[in-house]
Amino acid sequence: MSKHFFKVVNLISVLGGWNNNPSVTGFQSIFRKLVTWFMEDFQQIDAIYSASEINEIDQLSTHTLEVSPQEPVIIRGSGSTTLFGLSNRFDEEFPQALYAKLAPEEFKSTVQQINGVLKKSLPINIKLLICGCLCCCCTLGCSLMPALCLNNRTKLSVDKLIDHENNRLYHKLGMHWRLCKRKCASSNMLEYVLVIEFLPLVPIHRPD
């Protein structure tokens, strides 16, 4: 106990204080003041740390809001035949917006797979549509149902293929492919196009 007593007295002397006749009562009083002083400093440190943490979170959220999403890439149909808005072929030319983000081989492989599905189904769909139009008066329009069902089945096959490619590769690269309707460039009619969207990056340094 005496060692701690003299250490506190020496500390007070170092800090500029002095006492010619230290006592237990003086030691208790000095010790309470030192504890109070340290507690005030710790509270200030906690307050400063909390404020800085709040400012950092605000800056991160502001930075996230300021980052504008990148425009999606649209791949339009380039085939010679379009049926119910779905072309028999999509353009395989590599877009400039995907440079340094995706290998041209992967892009070409995906588009070729989609074109393969369209190449198999659309010629049959055209034949069914012609037969349905010829028999339309006799069947009161029911003969067009096979062509419509086959067209929906083709879109479903393309969607399944795109979902497979997204899970296999593109979601890992921060991209998402989908088939959707857009207005034609030359008219107000709708057509099916391939849309490549860029997924927002999640800041891993942002607290939960």
Question: Is 114 inside a domain boundary?
Answer: yes
Helix ranges (H only) for the chain are 2-14, 24-66, 104-134, 136-139, 145-165
pLDDT in tens, 78-119: 888 888 889 889 999 999 989 988 999 999 999 999 999 998
Question: Is 7 inside a domain boundary?
Answer: yes
Average pLDDT of 45-52?
49
Average pLDDT of 46-67?
50
Is residue 54 scored above 80 in pLDDT?
no
- Are residues 16 and 98 located together in one domain of the fold? no
The residue type of 103 is: A
Residue 70: CB partners within 8 Å, gap ≥ 6? 97, 198
Ranked by mean pLDDT, the top range of 33-37, 164-168, 203-207 is 164-168
- Are residues 90 and 174 located together in one domain of the fold? yes
pTM: 0.62
* Span of 10-24, 68-82, 137-151 with lowest mean pLDDT: 10-24
DSSP 167: I
- Are residues 188 and 173 located together in one domain of the fold? yes
Question: Is 204 inside a domain boundary?
Answer: no
Question: Is 31 inside a domain boundary?
Answer: yes
* Cα(186)–Cα(199) distance, integer angstroms: 29
The count of structural domains within the chain is 2
* Cα(103)–Cα(94) distance, integer angstroms: 9
* Cα(87)–Cα(75) distance, integer angstroms: 11
- Expressed as residue numbers, the domain containing 58 is 2-66
